[in-house]
Amino acid sequence: MEEKVVIENRKLLTIFGATRVISSTSSQAVVEVGEANMVISGNNLEVVKLNLDDKEVEFSGEISGVKYMVKHEKIGFFKRIFK
């Protein structure tokens, strides 16, 4: 499934392609989307629809920012020392 983000009037945000909601508070939410995490910031954020079978999450509130962060592979301590 392709990833898609729809923001309506900065009050409603829908993410298609979400695989997991990592965290959600009234000011920030983190959603796993494929090989990346999406960080949504704002005020009075609330999950209004959660359907991970269809990979869809919807937030309402005052959306102030969306940040897309690629996950990095975790490298162990000894692997970093003994390259």
pLDDT digits (tens, 9 = 90+) for 1-55: 688 999 999 999 999 999 999 999 999 999 999 889 999 999 999 999 999 999 9
Q: What is the DSSP letter of 76?
A: -
pLDDT score for 79? 60
Residue 72 has pLDDT above 80, yes or no: no
pLDDT score for 2? 83
Q: What is the domain partition of the chain in residue ranges?
A: 4-71
Residue 83 has pLDDT above 60, yes or no: no
Looking at the domain covering 4-71, what would its CATH class be? Answer: mainly beta
Task: Tell me the whole-structure pTM to 2 decimals.
Answer: 0.81
pLDDT score for 81? 65
CA separation, residue 59 to residues 9, 22, 33, 37, 72 (Å): 12, 14, 15, 16, 26
Residue 80 has pLDDT above 60, yes or no: no
Assign 78 to helix, strand or coil: helix
**Which two structure tokens, joined as six digits, stand for 29?**
């939410």
Question: Residue type for 53, please?
Answer: D
